[in-house]
Amino acid sequence: SMSDNKHNRTYLRGFGNEFESEALPGSLPRGQNNPQRCPRGLYAEQLSGSSFTMTRSKNLRSWLYRTMPTVDEEEFVQDDEDVFKHVATKYDHLDGNPNQLRWKPAPLAPDGTPVTFLQGLWSIAGAGDPSAKKGVAIYMYACNTSMKDAFYNSDGDLLIVPQTGSLSIRTEFGQLDVEQNEICVIPRGIVFRVEQQDSARGYMLESFQGHFCLPDLGPIGSNGLANARDFEYPTASFEEVQGDVKIYNKFCGKLFKKISHHSPFNVVAWHGNYLPFKYNLTTFCTMNTVSYDHPDPSIFTVLSCPSETAGESAVDFVIFPPRWMVAEDTFRPPYFHRNYMSEFMGMISGKYDAKVGFSAGGASLHCCMSAHGPDRETTERAEEAEMSPVKFEDGLAFMFETSAILKPTPQAMSCPFRDTQYKAMYNTHDDTSNLKTSSPQKHTTFSLIPS
């Protein structure tokens, strides 16, 4: 465990570990999960993140010991309050767009107008179907007010990337304080509430398929990239409040709600390996070439959701952190590229090393086989640059990379902060090739038809 003195929190450390925690000593049963009577009169409840028969190495579940069970007599009804008015419910009816797309920084939540995390979610692109547990959805958020209600997502795991402002996320398992340069993951089904002291803006990825895991390191060896010991998990805490609590549930793309007659944050103790967690991106151990050529961006993968196809991710979370660039006789910015995967990029802070005008809080989308690369200014500077070691420390960008073909939402295409001049940036490149010869080339025409 590790203490966070800034927020007076204690976290458990180690990706994918089996943990246990109790807010009151003697609350965890010993030797079994579900005794006839639990200590302190608590109720035992299992939360499964995988099928019962999943292989042991991928089997995810936790046991929670609560003052009241989650199940009650109240029914979920579809929300009629327009809480999710900017959230897309499905993507199969949307049109794809093969063009390069970019957005300027989204506006912050307006002063004087309370906006919670749920109300501030804004769908930008997605693909697939949560009812089939395949696909992804990408959001931006802007909020300024703590939630009083609670929320859980039946459709998939959520990966939250704060860009400005901090979030204090109360979960069934305890509290996570998440700031700029940190991320957090709330797995499918875990109830949470976002609390905050100031205005916040950021990005969120929803994966309908599987769960986030660390990428295999292959010949890199035993250490590097996101090290398992740097992932932090909450310790048990619970609230003793009386009265009704509204609980929202995103289910098959739509928002439902019900009233609970007790707080969902009533877990006094727990043990297991299906848990929310956070990670500080500044601890990422960056790998890069020390000889020549720009490596593929997969070398910067933090977390991955595997697909059924070996070697192909349903979605990856990738960062472009401060790093030394020392490649010799090499075009050092990210190369011109057409990609099988679709790439959504966001900017947490500073500036991006491949393009002018990509600002913190902004975003871009390059879908499957859509050509992209550095702008003219970056290209010319890179071609003339002296090949001495350079430390890039001007910004932190990230990428959601998915095998799905992302479809932008209508509001993303029509919003006032879409950068409609982005594609024109590529029209400034000159033909600098030197292919002219002193005499015209003679071309021979071959025929497969016998004369």
Which two tokens mark 404? 């799905």
Distance of alpha carbon 109 from alpha carbon 116, whole angstroms: 9
Q: Which residues of 78-113 are buried (b: 16+ CB within 10 A; e: fewer)?
A: ebeeebbebbbebbeebeebeebbbbbbbebbeeee
Which two tokens mark 351? 């500036």
Asked if residue 168 lies in contact with residue 160, where contact means CB atoms within 8 angstroms, the answer is: no
Which two tokens mark 409? 């939402």
Distance of alpha carbon 301 from alpha carbon 312, whole angstroms: 13
Cα atoms in the Cβ-side hemisphere of radius 13 Å centred on 316: 22
Which two tokens mark 255? 């928002």
304 has which bridge partners? 213, 316
| Strand pairing category for 150-153 and 245-251 | parallel
Q: Which residue has the tokens 């009629």?
A: 80
Please choose, from the candidates 428, 401, 425, the residue with its C-alpha nearest in 3D space to the C-alpha of residue 100: 425
Asked if residue 161 lies in contact with residue 346, where contact means CB atoms within 8 angstroms, the answer is: yes
Q: How far apart are the first and last CA of the chain?
A: 84
3 state SS of 257: strand
Q: Phi/psi of residue 442, each to 5°?
A: -95, 130
Distance of alpha carbon 120 from alpha carbon 165, whole angstroms: 14
Please choose, from the candidates 371, 359, 373, the residue with its C-alpha nearest in 3D space to the C-alpha of residue 417: 359
> How many C-beta neighbours within 10 Å does residue 421 have?
9
Distance of alpha carbon 376 from alpha carbon 381, whole angstroms: 8
Just list the catalytic residues.
294
Asked if residue 167 lies in contact with residue 143, where contact means CB atoms within 8 angstroms, the answer is: no
